[in-house]
Amino acid sequence: MEVKEKIVGNRITQEKVLWQEDIWKLVEVLIKRALKVFLEKVLEEDVREGISATRYERTKGRKDYRNGSYLRTLLSRWGLIEDLEIPRAREGGISFRLFDKYQRRQEDVDSAIGKLFIAGVSTRKLKNITKDLFGKSLSAITCGKTTEALEKEMKIYQNKEISDKVEFLFLDGMV
């Protein structure tokens, strides 16, 4: 790395850190931009398959017609993908491979939130952690709803009867 050596002491280190931060911000922007383009292509392909025709194509097998698009923000493991263009069909009924209807977060994000909650992180702290990890803070209510599903599964598991004859039972847990 080339830095002016005439600068003395702590200032060289500060310039290196600033330079590294700029590089990583640029990398993040490029990755998100490429990811957005890729996801929009996948969504476009889903609509093409659902309608059974490409844009402006007139076929007898056509099932529906395009009806513009709308923008959605998607929180993924790579960060917040803003203004993702979601194509529409007139009659609706297009199911996308990427996400379910009204889904705003990838399942990986919910899974990470659940794992942090199980590790003992409070919902208020989760709010700040999600901001650092994914670029968007989630409300305490959203974190709570995400962890509710885990709690329900945990209750089922806790109340489940042991039907086999058990000679030894080893338990491991977190407090």
**Averaged pLDDT, groups of 10, the chain, 175 residues long:** 50 72 88 93 90 80 84 88 90 83 83 80 80 78 75 80 78 70
Q: Which of 101, 93, 107, 98 is nearest to 44 (CA)?
A: 98
pLDDT at residue 55 in the model: 78
pLDDT at 25 (0 to 100): 87
Tokens representing 89? 């069909």
